[in-house]
A and B are shown apart, each in its own frame.
Chain A
Amino acid sequence: MTETGKMMTLFGVSREDLQLLVKTALSDGGDFADLYFEHSIANELSLRDSEVNSTGTHVDYGMGVRVLFGDQTGYAYTEVTTLDQMLKAAKVASKIALHSKENRTEPVTLNGKLNGNLTLNSLYKIKIPWEETEISQKIPYLKELNVLIFSADERVSKVMARISDSNSSVLYYNSEGVLASDIRPMFSLVATCIMESNGRVENGSSSRSFRAGFEFLNSDLIREIAGEVVKKTSFLFNAVRPNGGEMPVVMGSGSSGILLHEAIGHAFEADFNRLGTSIFADKLGKKICSEEISVVDDGTIPFNRGAINFDDEGIPSQKTYMVTNGVLTSYLHDRISASYYKTTPTGNGRRESFRYMPLPRMRATYMEDGKSTESEIISSVKRGIYADNFSNGQVQIGAGDFTFFVKSGYMIENGNLTTPIKDINIIGNGPEALADIIAVANNSRVDNSTWTCGKEQYCAVSCGMPSVLVKKLTVGGVD
């Protein structure tokens, strides 16, 4: 039996059932309908107070029916996949077509040829499935992590660590007859370390996440995380908050990709542009930054947290150039926005689960290499800051103001990294910040931490960046 056939058995549906459901979903006049079945099993195992003493398994099962009527959406889901319950959901979603008939837009259609196909080899083929991995096989890794962190620094007072793994079985069918299935694994390892010295307490965290099986959990990874979390936490004891204000900011390679995610990534999601609410709404095809800059959103990096074989509306994943040599070349599309812009979808229609309708969402967003070296960039700054460790960010799509929180970094004085800094927010304006990137290094890398985007619903993503110099951002600080 094929993978898709197995999946149909899992959800207890036949092709005839799928066709009936779609027919029902379109019975009130909708243009397009799709069905999204999901069975997810997520496990977690936690260490606290030096013991592996908590575990959990979470099962989520159900299916969602979406109906499009022009650019309007009807959506309903059910957690019981009996035919009568699914038909009820389909009928609820169908009602969207009964509203606003007089001012509907054109039906959503696929334009052009899709990039890629649904039968490609999986981007996340696993060797050892999580469902075949016993808890007893995972426990030693958490214990080893705990020992390594405690033995690395006598100031360590607490360690918390967690292994999370999940497997989502997805079946997709739509009114164009596309039938596809996918098995999406996810593995995350997170360690938090608390250190205390002379009554002062600091905390640091480190994480890794991949669409991968048990084979990715190994002693090398444990050593890497242990070393990193101890380094991050101990760094904070020497760090201060700088004076605030506008200044040059050097973003270190890797997790600085949060700047791209917040400053431009969301603003390039085509739903905001279609509605005219993004500050980049009129910029398609225009030069928006230095020719040295190319930015991609890539769903095809093997084992990456943001990788998807096909998106949640049946479109093959792809590598999408949003900025090519300084020109805005593409937004990130779902079917609705691609139809509006008369282009092909980019495979960015994603959703948190069957409970949600798909929206344009990022995958792995990063900037490609430039020509400078990081040391050249740092040495060009007389007074500014260097930031390379971040926790979270946000953006106001219309105003374009974005922020990201710097857990740690350095002051730059006369071209040298000097005093360590910590716990400051940086704020800028997306188009201005992008145009203010005046140097790009040749050290681009994607950060594999547990990045999760929260636009209406949660979605696993990743981000990356070479080191860059932004001429001016507003740095939080104290007098």
Chain B
Amino acid sequence: MSEILNKNIAKYAIDRSLKGGCSAARITLNNNIQSSYSVRNDKLDRLQQANGSSLYIQLFTEGKYGAYSTNRMEPSEVEKFINNAIDATKYLATDNCRVLPDKSLYYSGEEYDLEQYDSSFHDISPEVKCDIAFNCAAEIYKKDPSIISVNCEYGDSDDYTYIIDSQGFEGESKQTTFTLSAECSVKGTGDSRPEGWWFESSIYIDKLLREGVGLKAFERAASRLNPKKLKSGKYNLVLENTVSSRLISPIISALNGSSIQQNNSFLKGKLGQRVFAEGFTLADNPHQKGAYGSRYFDSEGIATKSMNIIENGIVTNYYINTYNSLKLNLPVTVEGPSVPTCLYSYPGRSSDSSILADDIIKKCGKGILVTGFNGGNSNSSTGDFSFGVQGFYFENGVILFPIKEMNITGNILSLWNNIAEIGTDPRMSGRWLIPTLAFESVNFSGI
């Protein structure tokens, strides 16, 4: 469906909502085109293509609120759907915090191109896509007798979003994504078949790293042979940049206005307080060119801005949308993270220094490099966590052997008060730019 048709349907939906008796409405249209080509060993295993649209309708009727969605875009279906939605909303209790945003907070126009869209998306032939996946698999298939299975997948998507509300806000954004991933299984000891994976992702097809993806998956699988379980105890923890977002995620969740308002956050009441290690800063830079997650406005149309969420250990901002702003009597910031990243400063560390995983492993000397998580969870009220992990034991800055069947257990606040180092090496293929992290004295459970 064309963007013009999409916009017309969204405008029609706004019109129907207001004529049906709503005091305000917001319509969000999403259109997605995607394809994927998956190669197993030496043949195409799966081919998928799709094109989908959806209409997300938020209705505000004198303090009553409902959120509805449909992918039936014919005007007659939309009209029937909205009429039913308006009827349903009327049954609810009034909640005066359910309103559209303060108009002065809206994003009001483009500044510079955030470099989120590759206009060559539709020119890439199926043959080229297929070849990318085949070449990836060919890097390793039959290249080592230990290999059991190779699976490589090329995928792409073109996502378009259009938001319009009854106060006059109108905004649109589009993003392309190209990914190449590889999984490799190798014969291990006994019945085990360790797996390794790797992936690359880019907003532009020309910038998608295609070489070495299969090889890296094999190397990671082969490195998992003969793992050992260590004795339970406290170890230094170094967290690879491929998975480091996992330990920042509980903090981001706890900063969410809804969690704060529902008294379900270990950071409730901590605004303005130092609760993390001095020198630790969590920043959000939503206008970074070419970074996944960069955006000028959030789902309410509120303009995003660069800000420190945690600054030198002090909680300086929550993620507050219009609803939670009115509930909590706090100013609106933005509904959630765009491009969060971590910084760490201490005497002697220069702001332009490059600190990579190897540097951090050497600095820690002895400990466990975690390269993957296996389940686990954290308690949103208390910050207590426990996660299954896999990785490698190291001593004197040298990796010695893989570890297996171990858990890390602790509390997020305690953990982030024991930072050993934070690297400068986030992977640009991730949505959150979280680099290699290191913490001192973390509880590992094993034997």
Query: Quick check: A194 and B262 within 8 Å, CB to CB?
Result: yes
- Closest partner residue, chain B, to A143 (CB atom): B93
Q: How far is the CB of A437 from chain B (nearest CB, A)?
A: 17
User: B8-16, B186-194, B201-209: which lies at the A interface?
Assistant: B186-194
Is A232 at the interface (CB under 8 A from chain B)?
no
Query: Quick check: B384 and A196 within 8 Å, CB to CB?
Result: no
Query: Quick check: A55 and B88 within 8 Å, CB to CB?
Result: yes
Q: How far is the CB of A35 from chain B (nearest CB, A)?
A: 15
Q: Which of B354-408 contact A (CB under 8 A)?
A: 374-382, 384-388, 390, 404-408
Q: How far is the CB of B250 from chain A (nearest CB, A)?
A: 12
Query: Quick check: B68 and A474 within 8 Å, CB to CB?
Result: no
Query: Quick check: B376 and A474 within 8 Å, CB to CB?
Result: no
Contacts of A73 in B (CB 8 A): 45-47
User: A110-118, A272-280, A312-320, A368-376: which lies at the B interface?
Assistant: A272-280
Binding site secondary structure of chain B? strand
Contact of B193 among A241, A281, A474 (CB under 8 A): A281
Tell me the bound Cα distance from A398 to B227 in angstroms. 13
Is B345 at the interface (CB under 8 A from chain A)?
no
Q: Which of A170-214 contact B (CB under 8 A)?
A: 192, 194, 196, 200-203
Is A136 at the interface (CB under 8 A from chain B)?
yes
Contact of A245 among B130, B232, B374, B387 (CB under 8 A): B232
Q: How far is the CB of B166 from chain A (nearest CB, A)?
A: 19
Query: Quick check: B374 and A394 within 8 Å, CB to CB?
Result: yes
- Known contacts A54-B92, A61-B71; A241/B40 CB under 8 A: no
Contact of B44 among A72, A192, A245, A397 (CB under 8 A): A72
Interface readout for A265-293 with B: 1 if CB under 8 Å, 0 if not?
Answer: 00000000001111111110000000000
Is A355 at the interface (CB under 8 A from chain B)?
yes
User: A7-15, A18-26, A421-429, A438-446: which lies at the B interface?
Assistant: A421-429
Query: Quick check: A194 and B263 within 8 Å, CB to CB?
Result: yes
Query: Quick check: A59 and B382 within 8 Å, CB to CB?
Result: no
Is A76 at the interface (CB under 8 A from chain B)?
yes
Interface size on B, residues (CB 8 A): 84
Contacts of B128 in A (CB 8 A): none
Contacts of B126 in A (CB 8 A): 95
Tell me the bound Cα distance from A475 to B376 in angstroms. 11
Looking at B40, B47, B390, the one whose CB has the most chain A CB atoms below 10 A away is B47
Q: How far is the CB of B260 from chain A (nearest CB, A)?
A: 11
Looking at A158, A357, A399, A404, the one whose CB has the most chain B CB atoms below 10 A away is A399
Is B75 at the interface (CB under 8 A from chain A)?
no
Contacts of B380 in A (CB 8 A): 203
Contact of A76 among B50, B130, B390, B407 (CB under 8 A): B50
Contacts of B194 in A (CB 8 A): 398-399
Query: Quick check: A401 and B390 within 8 Å, CB to CB?
Result: yes
- Known contacts A244-B443, A394-B388; A400/B409 CB under 8 A: no
Q: Which of A42-68 contact B (CB under 8 A)?
A: 48-49, 51-62
Query: Quick check: A58 and B382 within 8 Å, CB to CB?
Result: no
Query: Quick check: B43 and A241 within 8 Å, CB to CB?
Result: no
Q: Which of B102-122 contact A (CB under 8 A)?
A: none
Query: Quick check: B50 and A405 within 8 Å, CB to CB?
Result: no
Contacts of B390 in A (CB 8 A): 396, 399, 401
Is B311 at the interface (CB under 8 A from chain A)?
no
- Known contacts A72-B43, A276-B149; A201/B407 CB under 8 A: no
Question: Range of interface residues on chain A?
Answer: 35 or more
Q: How far is the CB of B159 from chain A (nearest CB, A)?
A: 15
Query: Quick check: A58 and B68 within 8 Å, CB to CB?
Result: yes
Is B429 at the interface (CB under 8 A from chain A)?
no
Contact of A282 among B149, B191, B388 (CB under 8 A): B191
Query: Quick check: A56 and B379 within 8 Å, CB to CB?
Result: no
Contacts of A243 in B (CB 8 A): 232
- Known contacts A158-B263, A405-B375; A57/B409 CB under 8 A: no
Query: Quick check: B91 and A139 within 8 Å, CB to CB?
Result: yes
Tell me the bound Cα distance from A62 to B46 in angstroms. 20
Contact of A244 among B68, B72, B407 (CB under 8 A): B407
- Closest partner residue, chain A, to B266 (CB atom): A201
Query: Quick check: B130 and A57 within 8 Å, CB to CB?
Result: no
Q: How far is the CB of B49 from chain A (nearest CB, A)?
A: 5
User: B59-67, B301-309, B334-342: which lies at the A interface?
Assistant: B59-67
Tell me the bound Cα distance from A479 to B235 in angstroms. 12
Contacts of B384 in A (CB 8 A): 241, 422-423
Query: Quick check: B45 and A72 within 8 Å, CB to CB?
Result: yes
Contacts of B410 in A (CB 8 A): 478
Contact of A135 among B91, B264, B266, B385 (CB under 8 A): B91
Contact of A201 among B94, B148, B382, B387 (CB under 8 A): B382
Q: Which of B19-78 contact A (CB under 8 A)?
A: 40, 42-53, 64-73
Query: Quick check: B446 and A76 within 8 Å, CB to CB?
Result: no
Query: Quick check: A53 and B446 within 8 Å, CB to CB?
Result: no
Query: Quick check: A202 and B195 within 8 Å, CB to CB?
Result: no
- Known contacts A139-B91, A201-B381; A100/B71 CB under 8 A: no
Is A448 at the interface (CB under 8 A from chain B)?
no
Tell me the bound Cα distance from A394 to B390 in angstroms. 13
Q: How far is the CB of A324 from chain B (nearest CB, A)?
A: 20
27 A/B residue pairs, CB under 8 Å, sorted by A: A56-B68, A59-B69, A72-B45, A72-B47, A73-B47, A76-B49, A93-B47, A100-B42, A136-B91, A201-B263, A202-B382, A203-B264, A275-B149, A357-B46, A391-B377, A392-B375, A394-B374, A394-B375, A401-B388, A402-B374, A404-B375, A423-B379, A423-B382, A423-B384, A427-B405, A428-B405, A479-B232
Q: Which residues of A contact B (CB under 8 A)?
A: 48-49, 51-62, 71-79, 92-93, 95-96, 99-100, 103-104, 134-136, 139, 157-158, 160, 192, 194, 196, 200-203, 241, 243-246, 262, 275-283, 355, 357, 391-405, 422-429, 431, 474-479
The 6 closest A-B pairs by CB, nearest first: A244-B445, A403-B375, A476-B407, A394-B375, A100-B43, A398-B193
Q: Which residues of B contact A (CB under 8 A)?
A: 40, 42-53, 64-73, 81, 84-85, 88-89, 91-95, 98, 126, 130, 148-149, 151, 185, 188, 191-195, 224, 227, 229, 232-234, 262-264, 266, 268, 374-382, 384-388, 390, 404-410, 443-447
